[in-house]
Amino acid sequence: MSAATSMEILPGSIVEFFENRQVLCGVCTAVKGSRLAILTEQNKEISLAQSRVLHVTSQPMDLRQSRDDQVRRLLSATAIRKQLMDLVQVEEMWSLLESESEGFDVRGLAELVFSETLSDHHVAAVQRVLLLDRLYFQFKDGLFHARPQDKVEQRRTEIEREEEREARIESGAQWVQAVWSRKHRGGAPDEHLGLIDAVKSFCLFGQDSPEAVFVKELFKRAAIAPVPASAFRLLVRLGVWKEDENLYLHEQNITPDFPASLLEEAEATARIGLASRWEASWRRDLRGLDAFTIDSSLTRDHDDALSLRPLSDGAFEVGIHIADVAEFIEPGGALDREAEARASSIYLPDSRVPMLPQVLSEDLCSLKAGEDRFALSFLLRVSPEGVVLGQEIAPSVVRIREQLTYDEVNERISRDSALSVLYDLAIRMRKDRIERGAIILPLPEIHVHVNPVGMIQMSRHEKESPSQIMVSEWMIAANALAASFLAERGVPSLYRGQAECKPETDPVASEHEIFHVYRQRRLFVRAEMDTQPRPHCSLALSSYTMATSPIRRYTDLVVQRQLRHLVRGQESPYSEEDLRQLITRFSTVQSKVFLIQRKWTRYWILKYMEQEDMQSLDALVLDQNDRFVHVLIPDFLMEANVPNPEKIPIQRGTMIRVKIERIGPRDEVLRLQL
């Protein structure tokens, strides 16, 4: 309340106050502590805080009058004051006072405007004008201060922006309401294109969005709940996003699309091809080997292959051939910077976000059957007992004879001598690692695939199948060779180490093997990258790195570059400090990639449960506390909490049946009951 209106408010006092951005008159009918019972000129009864009062008349109203008479008197007072407001020239008043530093009370300003004897109406009219003025005067501590010239211009600009924003909200709200009620079809008109980005931001980041205040006001005026879920529904109705839009990709600003300039560079690289890059004196010709890839049936970027060649002394030469991506991607170039920013390819149930443009990842760099391809070949001389007798790394050119799937290998392995030998040798090498302390804790892989029409297919692949064991062991052998090759020469690289694997100290009996695998895995320290070699506990190796997926992982490409330069007797392209900085950057991006893969796979698993109309599930009890039973859904390798209000004791390691109470894929909700 201003100093000019600080007189005591009594029943019968006529007061003015702001309501919905306009000044109203009312009469105080009762005083209740710091609040007033008010009858307004709109014939409404309200409770008003005294602090909201702008002006109080000196002459009270007779409350013995009828209510209608009181309202008529309030309306009459308002009409008189509005007429007097037209006589107040704010700019002229400001020009007289602009040079004054002190503030003025409203009665003193009213005396400047009106020559006749002042009434409550005169004072109230001036106050109304000045309070509604947003440009020339500032109200502070009960006084009006004339703004300096420069502040007026600054305020003028602010007002223009506010008016533009208000107009944008008002017209935008009308359009949003039309879209929401399905009265508008098609995309956004040009004048509302900017609203789409604001709505997207609010949908993704909610209250943390810089557009949150704007969009919430927009939705309120459109009579829509001002929540991110409304923003998503609006964008779907507009056709901007699909019903199954991957919001996690948007949140992390990751897109499967590449800039046009980058695609042009990739196309130019592909056109150059292999011929002009051929260096026979440096690259070994291994096209005579019977090399083959083993991948999922959906794989399109083949970055590793195997070969087997019997030697005259009864031993075997096992070749692990890795796509030589470093031949085509120069360090520090545009393609390299983009690959580093992406960190890895992202494989999702309904889509794929490649690290490299498809013309490289699925063609020039990919080990395609029947095509000459550059590779970095890890050649191991292995005895029939699985003992590595010798090994080397050779830049090569290979030609893949056949591209096999895991299922095809499993079906052919008993009658294909090469596959049989590779599997037998892999088993022997694995046994040797286990004897040296390796710990094998295989979990099945749950593959979720969404076909073009939106149908969800689920499949389960056991890691302990012959094809999976074969590929896994030979990739481990190649990565171990890469690590030892670098470590023995004192070259910093992106090594992977794992601290001591702690044994389970609280064993629980369970007939379900997956229960023990889960419990033991929780005790393992996560493998970490370092520039110097360290032991890897679960693999039982003194040094380890990852170099077998350079098409899909940027760190593998970096290691490949280190290896290539070392093989050629050249200086390493990365210093130890370069690698340390890269580890920091990669770790941040990779955590985002893991988050996206985990959350989006969970989304589609929940959608699959809806699609199949599942009512109940088998659940393996992992743990229990006072509120929940923590379970694993084995069919989907998904963990969940099941409320246990009755605190029923359930033995860990037992399989129970749980009822599905609610599924919410978009909200990541799987609500279960015992």
Number of domains, the chain: 4
570 pLDDT more than 70? yes
139 and 39 both lie in a single domain: yes
What's the count of helices (H) and strands (E) in the chain, helices before strands? 18, 24
In whole angstroms, how far apart are CA 47 and each of 29, 61, 521?
Answer: 10, 18, 63
Rounded to whole angstroms, the Cα distance separating 584 from 599 reads 23
136 and 184 both lie in a single domain: no
Instruction: Tell me how crowded residue 602 is: count the other CB atoms within 10 A of its CB.
Output: 16
464 pLDDT more than 90? no
In this prediction, what percent of the chain has a pLDDT beyond 90? Answer: 72
Q: Which residues pair with 415 in a beta bridge?
A: none
Rounded to whole angstroms, the Cα distance separating 240 from 77 reads 53
In a domain, 252, yes or no: no
353 and 228 both lie in a single domain: no
Give the distance, in angstroms, between the CA of residue 281 and the centroid of all CA atoms in the same chain.
48
Rounded to whole angstroms, the Cα distance separating 57 from 68 reads 20
Encode pLDDT of 618-637 as tens digits: 999 998 888 899 999 999 99
Encode pLDDT of 413-428 as tens digits: 999 999 999 999 999 9
In a domain, 153, yes or no: no
Q: Which long-range contacts (CB under 8 A, 24 or more apart) does 512-518 make?
A: 512/620, 512/634, 512/653, 512/655, 514/443, 514/620, 514/632, 514/634, 515/620, 515/622, 515/632, 515/652, 515/653, 517/441, 517/442, 517/443, 518/443, 518/622, 518/632
8 and 110 both lie in a single domain: yes
Provide the token pair at 541: 């190796």
Amino acid at 77: A
Provide the token pair at 555: 């760190």
The average pLDDT across 230-245 equals 92
From the CA atom positions of the chain, what is the Rg in Å? Answer: 37
SS (H, E, C) 200-225: HHHHHHHHHCCCHHHHHHHHHHCCCC
The average pLDDT across 237-243 equals 91
Instruction: Tell me how crowded residue 88 is: count the other CB atoms within 10 A of its CB.
Output: 21
449 and 407 both lie in a single domain: yes
In a domain, 251, yes or no: no
Q: What is the pLDDT of residue 185?
A: 67
DSSP class of residue 117 equals P
Q: Average the pLDDT over each of 70-74, 462-466, 535-539, 581-585 and give the range with the smallest value.
A: 462-466
Of how many residues is the chain composed?
Answer: 674
Tokens 């992982």, located at residue: 553
Q: What is the pLDDT of residue 2?
A: 43
b/e burial code for range 237-255 (CB count within 10 A of at least 16 → b):
ebeebeebebbbbbebebe
Tokens 């948007």, located at residue: 250
Q: What is the pLDDT of residue 647?
A: 84
In this prediction, what percent of the chain has a pLDDT beyond 70? Answer: 98
Q: Which residues pair with 557 in a beta bridge?
A: none
642 pLDDT more than 60? yes
114 and 173 both lie in a single domain: no
Mean pLDDT, the chain, integer: 91
Quick check: 125 and 85 in contact, CB under 8 A? yes
Encode pLDDT of 353-400 as tens digits: 999 999 999 999 999 999 999 999 999 999 999 999 999 999 999 999
Instruction: Tell me how crowded residue 478 is: count the other CB atoms within 10 A of its CB.
Output: 28
Amino acid at 237: R
Q: What is the pLDDT of residue 419?
A: 96
Q: Average the pLDDT over each of 151-160, 277-286, 573-582 and give the range with the smallest value.
A: 277-286
In a domain, 100, yes or no: yes
DSSP 3-state of 661? strand
Quick check: 10 and 50 in contact, CB under 8 A? no
Provide the token pair at 476: 């481990």
Provide the token pair at 134: 């947003």
Provide the token pair at 433: 């690692």
The separation between the first and the last C-alpha atoms of the chain, rounded to the nearest angstrom, is: 60
3-state helix, strand, coil in the chain (%, to 5): 40, 25, 35
Final residue of a structural domain among 121, 147, 173: 147
Q: What is the pLDDT of residue 402?
A: 96
Ramachandran region, residue 180 (left: φ > 0; alpha: ψ -120 to 50; beta: rest): alpha
195 and 297 both lie in a single domain: no
- The distance between the two most distant Cα atoms of the chain, rounded to a whole number of Å, is 123
Q: What is the pLDDT of residue 280?
A: 67
Residue 6: pLDDT band with limits 50, 70, 90: low
Task: Write out the H or E segment, with its range, that includes residue 529.
Answer: strand 528-530
DSSP 3-state of 445? strand
Provide the token pair at 331: 């360090």
Rounded to whole angstroms, the Cα distance separating 534 from 103 reads 74
In a domain, 608, yes or no: no
Give the residue, 650 or 39, on which the prediction is more confident. Answer: 39
Q: What is the pLDDT of residue 20?
A: 84
344 and 318 both lie in a single domain: yes
180 and 306 both lie in a single domain: no
59 pLDDT more than 60? yes
Provide the token pair at 420: 């049989």
Q: Which has the closest alpha carbon to 543: 480, 488, 477?
A: 480
Q: Average the pLDDT over each of 5-9, 85-89, 551-555 and give the range with the smallest value.
A: 5-9
Quick check: 113 and 107 in contact, CB under 8 A? no
In a domain, 481, yes or no: yes
Encode pLDDT of 172-182 as tens digits: 888 889 889 88
Q: What is the per-residue DSSP string for 332-382?
A: TSHHHHHHHHH-B-EE-SS-EE-SS-HHIIIIISS--BTSEEEEEEEEEEE
The average pLDDT across 564-580 equals 92
433 and 572 both lie in a single domain: yes
In a domain, 248, yes or no: no
Q: What is the pTM of this model?
A: 0.79
590 and 461 both lie in a single domain: yes
Q: What is the pLDDT of residue 194?
A: 80
**Angle formed by the axes of helices 212-221 and 193-205, to 10°?**
110
Q: Which domain holds residue 165?
A: 161-241
The average pLDDT across 531-560 equals 96
Q: Average the pLDDT over each of 218-232, 267-281, 573-587 and give the range with the smallest value.
A: 267-281
166 and 94 both lie in a single domain: no
In a domain, 447, yes or no: yes
Q: What is the pLDDT of residue 4?
A: 40
Decide the pairing of beta strands 284-285 and 388-405. Answer: parallel
Q: What is the pLDDT of residue 188?
A: 67
Q: What is the pLDDT of residue 1?
A: 41
Quick check: 41 and 76 in contact, CB under 8 A? no
Rounded to whole angstroms, the Cα distance separating 41 from 84 reads 18
Q: What is the pLDDT of residue 512?
A: 87
Encode pLDDT of 7-48 as tens digits: 689 999 999 999 888 899 999 999 998 899 999 999 999 999
Burial class (CB in 10 A: 0-12, 13-18, 19+), 66: exposed
The average pLDDT across 280-292 equals 90
DSSP 3-state of 74? helix
